Structure 1
Amino acid sequence: MDVISATLTYSLLFIKLIIIIFNVSLLDDIIAHVIEDWKKRDISDEYMMNRMAYVSRWFSNLIICSHAVSVFFYAMGTLLAHRNSNQTDARELILKMELPFKIETTSVYLTVLITQFVHQVSAASMLAVLNCLLLTLVLHACGQIDILRQKLSEITRKNTKQHMNDIAKILIIRHQKIISFSKNIETLFSNIALIQFVSITLVLCSLGFVIVTSIGVPGGSPMLVKSVFFYILVNMEAFTVCFLGEYLSTKSKMIGDAAYEALWYELNPIQNRDILFIIVRSQKFLTLTIGKVAELSLKQFANIMKASASYMSVLHAIY
C-alpha cells in the first residue's frame, strides 16, 4: 500500500505534464491574457492586482515548502525503519525499485539514496508548481472580478449623465474577458482535476490504511513518520483545489449583486439595459469542473473524504 501511494503520485504528475503539453497553446493564451491585464491596469486596479499577486506568491511558497517537507519526512521514515531493522544486510531505499547493479558498499548506497531524495524533491516541487499555477490563475480571475465590482459601485450621478454609455461598454467588455479567461482555465484543468480526484481518493485510501495498521504495532513509528505528513499534504491539496472552485463560483455570483447595487434607478432605459445584461449574464456563474462531470466545490472535498474513508474501512476489515 505504501508503494501504491507513491506510484499514484508519480503517475499523477506525469499525466498532468502530458495534458499541459497537449494544451500548451491554450496555456499560452491564458498567460498572454494575464500579461495583458497587467499592462492595461490603471491606478485604481493596481492595489487589487498587487494584493492578489501577493496572496498567490505567499500560498505558492507555502505549497512548495510543504511538498518539500513531505519528502523529507518520507525519507526520514525510511531511514528510521532501516535503523530499527534487525537485518544487517538489508539496505532500505526511499523508493523501492530494482536496480541493474547490487548495492554492496556504503558509498554506492549513499549515492543511490541521495539521488532518490533529489529526484523526489524535484518531482514534488513540480507537482506543487502545477498546483500553484491553478491557484495563481484563479486568484487573478477573482481579482479581476473584484475590480469589476468596484467599478460598478463607483457609478455616480456625475458619470451616469456624461460617460455612462462608455463606462457600461467598458464594463461589459471586461466581464466578457473574465468569462473567457475562466473558461480557458476550466478547459485546461478540467481533465487534470478528474485524474487528480481519482488519484487523491486512492492515495488517501492507501495511506489511511498504512497509518491505521501502523498504530500500536511494534516498529510502526517509522511508517507513521513516513505517512502522516504525506496524508495531511494530500488532504491539503484536495482541499485547495475544491476551495478554488468554490471561491471562483462565489465571486462570480457577486457580480450581479454589485450591478444591482449600482445607481441603475437614475439611468435612462437604454443605460439600464446595459446594466441588465451584466446582471443576467452573472446568473450563470463561473465554475471549475471535474472532467465536465461535477463542479469543484467544498461538497466534492467532503465526498472525497467519505469515499477514501469507506475504501480504507473495507481494506482494514479484509486485512
Structure 2
Amino acid sequence: MYKTRVNIGSIELDNLRNIKDFRYNLQITRWLLQLLGIWPIKSLFYENIQCLLFIIICIFLFMFLLIPSCLQAYFEKDAMVKLQNFKPYHERVMMIGPIIFFTMNTLNYGIILVKKHDIHACIIQIAIDWHKIKRIENKRIMLKNAKVARFFITLCIYFTFGGGMIYISVLPIVKNIIDSSSKNNLAFPSYFFFFNPQVRPMYDIVLGLQILSTFLMFAVVTSIFSIIINSIMHASSQCTIITAALKKFGTSGEEKPIKIIVKHHLRVLKFITKLENTLNYACFIELLGCTFNLIMLGYYLIIHFQNKNIWGIISITLLLISHGFNLLIFCFAGEHLTQKCENIGKVAYSINWYELCNSDKQNITFIMVISGRSIVLTAGKMTILSIYTFCNVMKAFVTYLNVLRTHIMNSS
C-alpha cells in the first residue's frame, strides 16, 4: 500500500507514486519559487531560516529598485519646474514604464507571499493526483499536459529573461560607450540621498544591485506564470480523464462506478476554485500591468527606432513579445479550461443516461447540472481570462500606441 504524507507547509515525497513525473511537472516552478523563498520544502529549521532569508533579500532588492526610481521621478520633475527647463516629452515618459513594472511585480510578490499556504495546497493537490494515477492512458494524458505547460513556461523564461537582461545589462554599457560625457548611465535612473550613483565605485555597486533586483522581478513574473499554467494544464488533464471515464462508463459496465467519477469531478472543481481564489488578484495585476507595459514598450520601440539604437530595438522587441505571449497564454489557458469543464457535461449528456438505474441517473444528472455552470478563471473577479479579453487588450494597445506615435510625430 502506498502512502503520501503531506503537510500544508511541505510535501513529503516518501513512497509517492509517479514521483519522477511529478518532479518533471513542477521542476521549473520549484526552481523559481525556491529563488523567491516560497517553495514548500521540508519544514526543517535551517530550511525555514533559508526561506526567510531569501524573502528578506527579495523585499530589500525590490525596494532598492522601486523607491529610488520614484524619488528620481519626483525630484527631477520638481527641478525642471523650478528651472522652467522641461525635458522632451519622451525622456519623461521613459521613466514611467520601469516604475509601473517595479510596482506591479512588488505587489505580485506580496500576493504570493500572503497566499503562500494556498499555493502550497494547490501543489499538494497536484502531487496527490499524480499519486492516484494508476492507468497508463491516464498517466499519458497528464504527461502530455505537463509537457505543454513546460513548453510554454520555457518560452516565457527565454523571452522575459532574454529581453530583460539585455535591457538592464547591455544598454547601460552601450550608452556609456556612446555618451561622450563622464556621466555613467544606470539601467534605471535612481535618486539616492547619501551618495552619487553615477560616480565609481558606487556606480558599479548600484548597477549590479539593479541587475540582480530586476532578475528577481523577472523570477516573480515567470513564477506566477508557471504556477497558473501548470495548475490550469493539470486541471485540464483531470477533466480529460473524467471525460474518458464517462465515455467508457456509457459503453461498458466494467469501468469506474459513477460515484467515483462524480467525486473526481468535485475534487477538480474544488482545485479550480482554490486556484481562482488564490491567484485572481495576481492575474488582475498581471493583466493591468501587461496592458500598460505593452503600451510603454511600444512607445520605447518607436524612440529606439528614431535613435537607431539596435540593442534597444532587440531588447524592447523581446520584451514586447514576452508580455504579449504571457497575456495570450493566460487568456488562452483560461478559455481552454472553461471548454474542458463544459465538455464534461456534453459527454455526460451524450451517453445513454436515461437507460441507467435511478442512482446512476441521479449522479449523471448532477454532473450535467454542475457542468452547465461556466467554470471560469478571472482577473480580480472582474474580467474573465479568455481570447476575447486578449483581443480587447490588443485593441487598447494599438489605439494608445497610435496616439503616442502621432504625438511623437507632431512634437519632432
Q: Normalization by structure 2: what TM-score?
A: 0.70
Structure 1 equivalent of residue 322 of structure 2 = 233
**1:304 lines up with 2:398 in the alignment:** no
Letter in 2 for 1:169: K
8 Å Cα contact 1:243-1:297 kept in structure 2? yes
8 Å Cα contact 2:249-2:258 kept in structure 1? no
| Aligned structure 1 segments of 4 or more residues deviating by more than 6 angstroms | none
CA shift at 1:73, angstroms? 2.2
Residue 190 of structure 2 aligns to a residue whose secondary structure is coil
User: For structure 2, which runs of at least 5 residues remain unmatched after alignment?
Assistant: 1-92
Structure 1 equivalent of residue 365 of structure 2 = 276
Change (3 A) 1:72 1:294: closer
Residue 257 of structure 2 aligns to a residue whose secondary structure is helix
Moved more, 240-249 or 194-203: 194-203
Structure 1 equivalent of residue 379 of structure 2 = 290
Q: Residues 20-45 of structure 1, C-alpha deviation per residue, up to 9 Å, x if partnerless?
A: 22223322322222222122222243
Residue 102 of structure 2 aligns to a residue whose secondary structure is helix
Change (3 A) 1:129 1:157: closer
**1:66 lines up with 2:66 in the alignment:** no
What does 1:62-141 align with in structure 2 at a 5 Å threshold?
62-74=155-167, 75-87=169-181, 89-99=182-192, 100-102=194-196, 103-105=198-200, 109-141=203-235
- Provide the rounded CA distance (Å) in 1 between the counterparts of 2:183 and 2:395: 38
Moved more, 55-64 or 201-210: 55-64
The one of 287, 298, 305 equivalent to 1:197 is 287
8 Å Cα contact 2:163-2:317 kept in structure 1? no
**1:176 lines up with 2:266 in the alignment:** yes
Moved more, 18-27 or 170-179: 18-27
Length, aligned pairs only: 312
**1:244 lines up with 2:333 in the alignment:** yes
Residue 252 of structure 1 aligns to a residue whose secondary structure is helix
CA shift at 1:4, angstroms? 2.0
Q: Normalization by structure 1: what TM-score?
A: 0.89
- Provide the rounded CA distance (Å) in 1 between the counterparts of 2:191 and 2:107: 23
User: For structure 1, which runs of at least 5 residues remain unmatched after alignment?
Assistant: none
Q: Residues 171-208 of structure 1, C-alpha deviation per residue, up to 9 Å, x if partnerless?
A: 11111111111111111121112222222111111111
CA shift at 1:110, angstroms? 4.0
8 Å Cα contact 1:73-1:229 kept in structure 2? no
8 Å Cα contact 2:335-2:386 kept in structure 1? yes
8 Å Cα contact 2:115-2:278 kept in structure 1? yes
**1:223 lines up with 2:318 in the alignment:** no
Q: CA RMSD in A?
A: 2.3
- Provide the rounded CA distance (Å) in 2 between the counterparts of 1:219 and 1:4: 22
Change (3 A) 1:32 1:234: same
Q: Residues 18-77 of structure 1, C-alpha deviation per residue, up to 9 Å, x if partnerless?
A: 122222332232222222212222224322222222332333233223221112321323
Moved more, 48-57 or 259-268: 259-268
**1:55 lines up with 2:148 in the alignment:** yes
8 Å Cα contact 1:52-1:140 kept in structure 2? yes
CA shift at 1:81, angstroms? 2.8
8 Å Cα contact 2:160-2:318 kept in structure 1? no
Change (3 A) 1:158 1:91: closer
Moved more, 140-149 or 260-269: 260-269
- Provide the rounded CA distance (Å) in 2 between the counterparts of 1:130 and 1:190: 11
8 Å Cα contact 2:166-2:315 kept in structure 1? yes
CA shift at 1:298, angstroms? 0.7
| Higher RCO, 1 vs 2 (CA within 8 Å, ≥6 residues apart) | 1
- Provide the rounded CA distance (Å) in 2 between the counterparts of 1:285 and 1:61: 30
Letter in 2 for 1:67: T
CA shift at 1:108, angstroms? 5.1
- Provide the rounded CA distance (Å) in 2 between the counterparts of 1:52 and 1:218: 44
Moved more, 253-262 or 284-293: 253-262
Change (3 A) 1:268 1:95: same
**1:37 lines up with 2:129 in the alignment:** yes
Letter in 2 for 1:124: F
